[in-house]
Amino acid sequence: MTSRAGILIISLFFSILLSFLMDSPWTVLKWLDAVFLVGLFLLMASAVMALIEGRFFDAFVHSTKNFFAKVNKKEQLIRESERRQENLHGYARSFPIRKSLFFAGLLMSLFSLILSAALYYS
């Protein structure tokens, strides 16, 4: 079983579980809502992983460290006495599961949208 199929099966299980946990009685439309919500969650998770892989937050972390190092006099004295250089290298992170999460989320969201529109307009 590939990771995409595994993620899809686990996500469908969570959507069924989520649809039973809602307040009103179980219906197909409640299940489709849960499928859409789980799909959106997977899409958001893959988007956050893409931002982390693209080192989007490294500039913010570097600026914050630099600001607090210059504001804090004690840290400034320690840096000068040790002749420490700034560490400009961040850690590269890779998430191989990101593409699988994206495709599973996209498939679930589109499936839910198409089936709900078909049920609504029929």
What is the tens place of the pLDDT at every residue in 58-102?
A: 888 888 877 877 777 777 777 777 776 666 566 778 899 999 999
* Torsion sign over Cα 39, 11, 114, 26: negative
Q: So what's the pLDDT on residue 87?
A: 63
Average pLDDT score over residue span 13-23: 90
- Choose between 120 and 68: higher pLDDT: 120
User: Pseudo-torsion of CA 33, 106, 10, 15, nearest 10°?
Assistant: 0
Cα atoms in the 13 Å half-sphere on the side-chain side of 98: 14
Residue showing tokens 């197909």: 28
Q: Output the six-digit token pair for 112.
A: 């839910």
Other CB atoms closer than 10 Å to residue 34's CB: what's the count? 23
Write out pLDDT tens, residues 29-58: 899 999 999 999 999 999 999 998 988 888
Domain span including residue 100: 3-84+91-121
Q: So what's the pLDDT on residue 57?
A: 81
Q: So what's the pLDDT on residue 71?
A: 79
Q: So what's the pLDDT on residue 77?
A: 75
Is there a contact between 30 and 23 (Cβ–Cβ < 8 Å)?
Answer: no
Q: So what's the pLDDT on residue 59?
A: 80
Is there a contact between 42 and 101 (Cβ–Cβ < 8 Å)?
Answer: yes
Q: So what's the pLDDT on residue 80?
A: 74
Q: pTM for this one?
A: 0.77
Q: What gap in Å lies between CA 101 and CA 107, rounded to an integer?
A: 10
The closest alpha carbon to 2, from 122, 104, 106, 113, belongs to 104
Q: Number of structural domains, the chain?
A: 1
